Each structure stands twice: as structure tokens, then as C-alpha cells.
């Protein structure tokens, strides 16, 4: 489930406040990312709530429902995704309101979504949003406000006294059977009660990323005015004589418009609309609404939603005395690590849900939305991940792994693999090999924690399979023939172990021609280039640095990736590359990079995200970067850079202890971004990383800053843990004499630094 108010919406535009007066919601702008392809859901919701209410527009970037790009409103609905790419999904059973129908004729109102958009124009200045509520005034004069509980939404529609024909208001509110993508399948049903006005119904829809379909049910009730009449509509015609229909998908591939409406005798007072949904039944949806919003009390519901967000956001406080206000505050890469710090109970529930999916369906889902399996890879939890690694499902597009016979016999996923045991998109052989290797490393960590020594050794071995696709003599040239100057890149490989070919610049930020997603004609890397995937060995940076010729050569290659815009910060594979200088003994360069990307590509505006928020990944990347502690996901490692504030305070929800990162010599102009020295709980701290106990035990990290790079965090013993040995760093060699495939010591893998263990 998407985090709908992720920390990426925090904007640093206030002054420092006393601890008891600190209100995190004063720093939140839900509209950041509501245009320019951010696809963020900016509407009303509860933390982790099912109901997500917002106005829907007909924009080409409506994946989050609402946009601020000039597109008109087509409805108001209660189910939404956030930050995803691809085609839109959800936005089911939208409401729309009219002050009256001209001449009192219901057929003078526009019912289909495409035609009613003409009545949905609005100005961006008439939009308001804060955690728990959303409001918009249309050019027609209708004001719509909305708030939610966990399963239900409450809309408040206020009307002008006169309609467009200068006749008194006689509001009509319709509810249709479509969704954002017009994906309705089979037959849909709707019924309106002529006495109470209650509308119930259901329909079958397609997900955006996934296979199969899902059925959603709804229940809608009204309050605030007496009912004049009600009925149903089909296409552009409506009738008060009919109160239920079953409507087909139509024969031309697009859903036939249809739904129900209720008309009221007056618009003098706001008309309240309560709508709830359920994946089980319309009756269950009605029960959700009646239980969670029994009194149609908009103020009480909105205040409860706002307070729920205030509580969720309270773990993090920042001191912003000298901040100038110009800066803004793939789930596993950043969003889930952020939840591990700020909301571990919710993260626990998510993991339990994944394990429950495995228990009932036999596989961990790769991506799940609306009860549907989705595309691209995740005692019972361990069994689940081992099954993913060992047993190939028939349909591995949505769960498990494909190409396991080749993986086990060759140590890589071949391009044009012969895979008769399961079926999926036969592309991405390079990125799948790299990701499977890292997945196996994570399984080895779990095995070690469970005391499964043989399993640990087995998966440590296969976690090195990434090296099998490294072609040491492969060069990368620009399309005009000029040389990049770098040799040695990952390349696709065939079943017979001969080499295939993919230009390392294909699927980079500079390549606008290659097919790089899940198409059958896609490349051998997924939404990223071989240049960028060339750094994706999160668990063994030491071996990768050696492979690239040592720390100096590694830094040169990493600089080239960023300086020539081969990478782009809008996509998740770029996140860790900003901070990988830590592993080469140059943490100062990580600080410099993060202070370049923020604010160069981020701002506290609707267009302030450089790309899809991807269910909170983009926002949590910025949150970690600005807090100065960036995770290497799946590992007990947070890389230290100076926070963008004088101080950051993070209170752990389970232990109640507050961790603090404090800057000495803080520079609001961000020229002094280089750590000169550090203390951890008052003791000198030379490592350029901390582990998770920093948060759970409430430690204090004090960073003394300067304008020039120092030697802090540069020695081998100061570098983050890595599975292989660090080599080529002056006269010292990190590691303990063991190789990647020979783990040493009890517990996890020692790196050769006394007291240092991988994974803590």
C-alpha cells in the first residue's frame, strides 16, 4: 500500500519551534508532486487507510487521481494509488455534482465522464490540501471538500444559490461505474433506493501493474437536504423511473457509461456524501460507512484524520533556525527503511501480510494491488524467500524467479534463456542476475540469524554470481563514436557462455529510443542502463571497487556517471549511487552530490519531484538524504552525511528514545558540507556509517563541519561493511583474509575490523 503522505512532502519553510510547540504538519504540503509526472496522490486519507479521496482529472498523468496541470476535474472518488508510473488505476465509482440541471430536465445535465469534464474547470489557487483533508472550488462555484476514515470517505459539496441558468439550486449528485483508466470488465451493477437515496453497486476492473481482475463494491449515503428524485443513467441519458441496472462493458472495448444519481430540493446547506468500498460485498461497504462515519460529522472526521497524521509524523523533528526556505524536504531502497525507523509496527504488519500471502497462495508477491498479483521481485518468512530462490513458478512474471535452472548451473540468467518450467518476459537478464545475487545475500543474512550455517554459505556463494556477467574488455563509447574512457562492463551472456551485447548507455537518461520496461522487446536491464546497474552490488562494494581498478578508478567512473547525466535522480536505481563514494573512502563527495541534487531537482511546488514518487520511494530518498543518514537497504548500515538542518531528532516509536544528529558550524548556505570530525555519544567516531541501534537506543551524533574535505571517514577501518575485502587503500588492506565465499567468524560476516560485523 502506498504511503500517501510520505516524508517527501515535508517542506522546510518554517522557523524553529520549541519542542512542545512543534507541529510536524506545519511542514507538510501534500500538493508537492501533483504535476510534472510526480503522480503523487495529494488527497485526504488516513495513515495506511484504504479510503483515499480526491478530485480526479483527465490528465495524462492522473495516476494519483488529481493533477495541477490545467486538466479539468471529471469526478471525486475514494480509491487511489500514489506515485506510480504506467497506466492509471483505481479512481473507482466517481461522484460528480451539479448545482442544477437546466430547466429542471435531468437530461440537460452531462453524465458521461468525457462530457462532464467541461463542467470541471478550476484554478490552482482554489485548491487546498493538508493531511486528512482536501478541498477544491470549481469554476462553476461548487466547493468540494473531503476527508476519510480507514474504509470510508466523507464529501461535503457546497453550491451556489443559482445554477448556470439563473434558476434556484436543485443539486444533482451522480455516481458512475467507471475508474480512472476506463478498465471496467464484464457486467457492473448499481441500485439507488428511491426513499433514502442510498446507492450500492459493484464492478470488475483491471489493475495497472498486474494480471487478472478485481471486483470492488461500494455503498453511498447522503445527508443535508431532502431528496426530490433519483434514478439511473446509461451513456448520456437518464431516467427517474428506473432505479437499478446491470450494464455491459460494451462491444467496442470501452465501458459503456452508466451509474445512478440523486437530486435534492435545495443547496442552501452543504450536502454530505458518505461513500465506502469493500472487496467483499456492498453490504460490507455499507457497514464500513455506518460504523466509521455514523453522524456525517465532517469536522470530527477531518480532525481525527489530521490528528492521526500528526501522530505518525511526530517521530522526526528538525531545527531550522537558519534554513533559507528554498529547499524541499522502489520501496525497498528507501521507503521501507524509513518505516523501520519511524513506524516499525506498520512495517511489521506489512511483512506479516506478505507472509500471509505466501501461506495462502504459496508465493511471495512481487507487487500487489487491489488483490491482484503484480509485476517485477520480494520460521514462514524464511521459507517463503527460500522458495522464491529455489522453486520456479509456472508464471514467474508476478512471483518467484524465472530461469532458475540456468541460475543454478551457470551462475547467471542467460539472454534468450531456454526456460520450459516457467514463463515470463524473457528480458532483463543482466538486471535480474544482479538483483538475484543481492537477494541471495539477503537470504544469507536471514539464514545466519536463524543459525542455518549451510544455507548461509550456500547463498553467500550465489550472491557472488554478479561477477559472472562482468566483461573486463568491454568498452563504452558515445553514439558519435567518442570514447568514455572506461573499460569493463556487465554484459548479457548466452546459454553457451558466449557474450551477447548491449550498449552500456542503452536505457540511460540520455537514451530516448530503447525499450527498457517489461515489453517483450525490452533490453537486458530494467529501466536503467548497464552504466548505472554497474554499481548495483550493494552487498559487496569492496569487490566491485577492486574489479573497477581500485578506489580512484571507482570514483572516476562514479563521477562520470553523474557528471555526464547518464544517471537521473528521478528513478530508484540512481539513489544509492549518490552515496557510494563512502565505500571508496570519499564520504565528502557523497555529501557534495546530495547537496547538488537537493535542491537542483526538488522543490516545494506541485512540480517539485523530478519523476514518479513510486509509492513513497522518491519522498523517502529525500527524507533520508536531508536527515544525513542514508540506508544501504537490507543491511544494518546508514551512511553519514551532514543533515540539511542544524539538528535532526528522531524518536523511535517502540523504544521511545530519541536519536539526534547535530551539526556544529552549520552553514545555511551549504558551503560547509564536509565533516571534519564526529562524536557518537561523546566519543570520537571515525566510521562514516552507523547501524540501526543509533535509532533504537537514541544515540547522539555530532558532526563538526567545514568548507574543505577532510580525512574523516576515509581510512579502511572507517568504511562501511562489505562482503569482500577492501584493497588498494594506501598500505592497508581491509577484510580478514577471507574471500566473499569464505565467511568468517560467528554471526554475520566480519570485514576484518575488530568488533565490526556485517548486519550488526
Over residues 519-525, mean pLDDT: 79
Same domain, 269 and 120: yes
DSSP secondary structure string for all residues of 17-84: --GGG--GGGGB-TTTTSSTT-----SEE-TT-S-EEEEEE--TT-TTS---SSPPEEEEES----S-
Same domain, 183 and 266: yes
Question: pLDDT at position 337, please?
Answer: 63
Question: pLDDT at position 453, please?
Answer: 94
Over residues 271-275, mean pLDDT: 98
Question: pLDDT at position 323, please?
Answer: 44
Can you say whether residue 221 is alpha, beta or left, with left for phi > 0 and alpha for psi between -120 and 50 degrees? beta
Same domain, 44 and 183: yes
Q: Quick check: is 551 in a domain?
A: no
pLDDT tens digits for 413-452?
Answer: 999 888 877 776 778 899 999 999 999 999 999 899 889 9
Question: pLDDT at position 269, please?
Answer: 96
- Computed on alpha carbons and rounded to an integer, the radius of gyration of the chain in Å comes to 28
CA geometry: angle 328, 329, 333, nearest 5 deg:
120
Over residues 47-67, mean pLDDT: 87
Same domain, 111 and 252: yes
pLDDT tens digits for 561-597?
Answer: 999 999 988 777 888 999 999 999 999 999 999 999 9
Residue 50, pLDDT above cutoff 50? yes
Residue 754, pLDDT above cutoff 50? no
Cα(479)–Cα(566) distance, rounded to whole angstroms? 13
Same domain, 434 and 347: no
Q: Provide the Cα torsion 286, 290, 296, 297; round to 10°.
A: -140
Burial of 608 (0-12, 13-18, 19+ CB in 10 A): buried
| Confidence at 676, pLDDT banded by 50, 70, 90 | very high
Cα(284)–Cα(289) distance, rounded to whole angstroms? 9
pLDDT tens digits for 652-664?
Answer: 888 889 999 999 9
Same domain, 693 and 594: yes
Q: Quick check: is 744 in a domain?
A: no
Residue 375, pLDDT above cutoff 50? no
Q: Residue 614 contacts by C-beta under 8 Å, 6 or more apart in sequence?
A: 83, 84, 85, 330, 331, 572
Q: Quick check: is 723 in a domain?
A: yes
CA 103 to chain centre: 48
CATH code, 221: 2.70.98.10
Q: Quick check: is 739 in a domain?
A: no
Mean pLDDT, all residues of the chain? 84
Same domain, 227 and 326: no
Over residues 54-83, mean pLDDT: 87
Over residues 295-309, mean pLDDT: 96
Question: pLDDT at position 411, please?
Answer: 96
Domain boundary among 311, 332, 362: 311
CATH code, 453: 1.20.1610.10
Chain position carrying cell 562489505: 722
Question: pLDDT at position 700, please?
Answer: 96
Cα(469)–Cα(407) distance, rounded to whole angstroms? 12
Same domain, 395 and 483: yes
Over residues 5-25, mean pLDDT: 48
| Confidence at 505, pLDDT banded by 50, 70, 90 | very high
- In the chain, how many domains are there? 3
CA 695 to chain centre: 23
Q: Quick check: is 84 in a domain?
A: yes
Same domain, 386 and 428: yes
The three cell numbers of residue 590 are 557523497
Q: Quick check: is 758 in a domain?
A: no
Question: pLDDT at position 363, please?
Answer: 54
Give the strand pairing for 214-223 and 271-278. Answer: antiparallel
Q: Quick check: is 10 in a domain?
A: no
Same domain, 149 and 81: yes
| Confidence at 742, pLDDT banded by 50, 70, 90 | very low
pLDDT tens digits for 176-196?
Answer: 999 888 888 888 999 999 999
| Confidence at 514, pLDDT banded by 50, 70, 90 | confident
Write down how long the chain is.
760
Question: pLDDT at position 16, please?
Answer: 38
Cα(10)–Cα(71) distance, rounded to whole angstroms? 26
Over residues 278-306, mean pLDDT: 97
Same domain, 232 and 83: yes
Give the strand pairing for 658-664 and 700-706. Answer: parallel
Question: pLDDT at position 607, please?
Answer: 80
Question: pLDDT at position 620, please?
Answer: 81
Cα(460)–Cα(458) distance, rounded to whole angstroms? 6
Q: Quick check: is 87 in a domain?
A: yes
Comparing C-alpha atoms, which of 645, 638, 682, 637 is closest to residue 662? 645
397/294: higher pLDDT: 294
What are the Cα distances from residue 486, in Å, to 477, 494, 585? Answer: 9, 24, 21
Residue 7, pLDDT above cutoff 50? no
pLDDT tens digits for 308-342?
Answer: 999 888 877 777 554 443 333 344 444 566 666 66
- Compute how many other C-beta atoms are within 10 angstroms of the C-beta atom of residue 732: 12
Residue 62, pLDDT above cutoff 60? yes
pLDDT tens digits for 555-565?
Answer: 999 999 999 99
Expressed as residue numbers, the domain containing 648 is 316-370+574-728
Residue 30, pLDDT above cutoff 70? yes
485/734: higher pLDDT: 485
Domain boundary among 539, 561, 582: 539
Question: pLDDT at position 175, please?
Answer: 98
Comparing C-alpha atoms, which of 138, 134, 116, 140 is closest to residue 126? 138
Q: What percent of the chain has pLDDT over 90?
A: 59
pLDDT tens digits for 593-648?
Answer: 999 999 888 888 888 787 777 667 777 888 889 999 999 988 899 999 999 999 99
Same domain, 112 and 185: yes
Question: Cis before residue 163, ω within 30 degrees of 0?
Answer: no
Question: pLDDT at position 750, please?
Answer: 33
Question: pLDDT at position 347, please?
Answer: 63
Domain boundary among 263, 290, 311: 311
Amino acid at each position: 500500500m502506498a504511503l500517501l503522505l510520505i516524508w517527501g512532502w515535508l517542506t522546510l519553510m518554517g522557523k524553529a519551534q520549541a519542542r512542545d510547540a512543534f507541529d510536524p504538519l506545519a511542514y507538510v504540503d501534500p500538493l508537492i508532486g501533483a504535476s510534472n509526472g510526480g503522480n503523487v496522490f495529494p488527497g485526504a486519507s488516513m495513515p495506511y487507510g484504504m479510503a483515499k479521496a480526491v478530485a480526479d482529472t483527465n490528465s495524462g498523468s492522473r495516476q494519483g487521481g488529481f493533477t495541477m496541470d490545467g486538466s479539468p476535474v471529471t469526478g471525486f472518488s475514494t480509491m487511489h494509488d500514489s506515485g506510480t508510473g504506467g497506466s492509471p488505476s483505481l479512481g473507482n465509482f466517481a461522484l460528480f455534482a451539479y448545482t442544477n440541471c437546466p430547466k429542471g430536465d435531468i437530461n440537460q445535465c452531462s453524465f458521461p465522464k468525457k462530457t462532464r469534464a467541461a463542467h470541471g474547470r478550476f484554478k490552482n489557487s482554489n485548491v487546498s490540501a493538508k493531511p486528512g483533508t482536501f478541498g477544491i472550488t470549481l469554476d462553476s462555484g461548487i466547493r468540494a471538500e473531503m476527508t476519510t476514515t480507514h474504509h470510508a470517505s466523507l464529501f461535503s459539496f457546497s453550491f451556489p444559490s443559482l445554477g448556470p441558468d439563473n434558476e434556484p439550486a436543485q443539486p444533482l449528485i451522480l455516481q458512475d461505474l467507471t475508474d480512472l483508466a476506463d478498465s471496467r470488465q464484464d457486467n457492473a451493477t448499481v441500485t439507488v433506493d428511491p426513499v433514502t437515496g442510498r446507492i450500492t453497486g459493484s464492478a470488475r476492473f483491471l489493475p495497472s501493474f498486474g494480471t487478472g481482475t478485481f471486483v470492488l463494491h461500494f455503498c453511498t449515503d447522503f445527508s443535508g437536504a431532502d431528496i426530490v428524485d433519483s434514478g439511473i443513467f446509461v451513456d448520456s441519458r437518464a431516467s427517474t423511473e428506473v432505479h437499478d441496472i446491470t450494464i455491459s462493458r460494451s462491444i467496442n472495448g470501452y465501458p459503456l457509461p452508466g451509474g445512478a444519481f440523486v437530486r435534492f430540493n435545495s443547496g442552501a446547506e452543504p450536502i454530505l456524501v458518505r461513500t465506502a468500498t469493500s472487496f467483499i460485498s456492498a453490504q460490507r461497504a455499507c457497514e464500513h460507512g455506518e460504523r466509521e462515519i455514523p453522524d456525517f460529522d465532517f469536522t470530527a472526521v477531518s480532525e481525527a484524520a489530521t490528528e492521526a497524521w500528526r501522530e505518525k509524523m511526530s517521530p522526526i523533528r528538525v531545527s531550522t533556525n537558519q534554513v533559507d526556505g528554498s529547499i524541499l524536504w522502489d520501496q525497498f531502497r528507501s521507503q521501507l527503511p524509513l518505516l523501520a525507523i519511524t513506524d516499525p509496527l506498520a512495517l511489521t504488519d506489512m511483512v506479516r501480510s506478505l507472509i500471509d500471502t505466501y501461506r495462502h497462495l504459496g508465493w511471495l508477491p512481487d507487487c500487489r494491488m487491489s488483490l491482484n498479483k503484480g509485476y517485477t521481485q520480494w520460521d514462514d518468512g524464511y521459507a517463503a524467500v527460500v522458495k522464491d530462490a529455489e522453486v520456479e513458478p509456472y508464471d514467474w512474471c508476478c512471483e518467484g524467479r524465472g530461469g532458475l535452472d540456468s541460475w543454478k548451473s551457470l551462475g547467471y540468467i542467460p539472454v534468450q534463456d531456454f526456460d520450459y518450467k516457467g514463463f515470463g518476459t524473457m528480458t532483463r537478464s543482466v538486471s535480474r542476475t544482479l538483483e538475484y545475487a543481492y537477494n541471495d545475500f539477503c537470504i544469507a543474512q536471514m539464514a545466519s540469524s536463524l543459525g542455518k550455517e549451510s544455507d548461509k554459505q550456500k547463498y553467500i556463494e550465489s550472491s557472488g554470481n554478479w561477477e559472472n556477467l562482468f566483461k573486463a574488455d568491454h568498452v563504452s563509447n558515445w553514439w558519435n563514436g567518442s570514447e568514455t574512457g572506461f573499460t569493463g562492463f556487465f554484459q548479457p551472456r548466452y546459454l553457451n557462455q558466449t557474450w551477447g551485447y548491449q550498449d552500456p548507455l542503452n536505457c540511460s537518461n540520455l537514451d530516448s529510443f530503447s525499450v527498457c520496461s517489461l515489453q517483450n522487446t525490452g533490453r537486458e536491464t530494467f529501466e536503467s542502463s548497464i552504466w548505472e546497474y554497474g554499481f548495483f552490488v550493494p552487498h559487496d562494494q569492496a569487490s566491485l571497487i577492486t574489479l573497477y581498478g581500485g578506489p580512484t578508478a571507482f570514483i572516476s567512473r562514479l563521477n562520470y556517471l553523474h557528471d555526464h547525466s547518464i544517471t537521473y535522480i528521478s528513478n530508484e536505481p540512481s539513489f544509492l549511487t549518490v552515496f557510494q563514494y563512502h565505500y571508496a573512502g570519499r564520504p565528502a563527495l557523497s555529501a557534495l552530490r546530495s547537496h547538488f541534487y537537493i535542491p537542483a531537482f526538488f522543490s516545494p511546488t506541485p512540480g517539485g519531484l523530478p519523476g514518479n514518487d513510486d509509492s513513497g520511494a522518491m519522498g523517502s530518498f529525500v527524507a533520508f538524504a536531508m536527515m544525513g543518514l542514508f540506508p544501504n537497504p537490507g543491511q544494518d548500515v546508514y551512511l553519514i552525511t551532514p543533515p540539511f538542518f542544524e539538528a535532526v531528532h528522531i524518536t523511535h516509536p517502540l523504544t521511545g528514545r530519541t536519536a539526534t544528529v547535530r551539526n556544529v558550524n552549520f552553514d545555511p548556505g551549504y558551503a560547509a558540507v564536509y565533516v571534519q570530525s564526529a562524536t557518537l555519544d561523546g566519543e570520537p567516531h571515525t566510521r562514516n556509517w552507523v547501524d540501526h541501534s543509533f535509532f533504537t537506543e537514541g544515540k547522539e551524533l555530532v558532526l563538526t563541519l567545514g568548507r574543505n574535505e577532510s580525512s574523516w571517514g576515509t581510512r579502511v577501518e572507517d568504511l562501511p561493511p562489505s562482503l569482500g575485502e577492501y584493497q588498494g587503500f594506501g598500505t592497508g588492506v581491509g577484510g580478514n583474509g577471507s574471500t566473499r565465499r569464505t565467511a568468517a567468524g560467528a554471526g554475520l560476516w566480519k570485514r576484518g575490523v575488530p568488533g565490526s560485523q556485517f548486519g550488526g
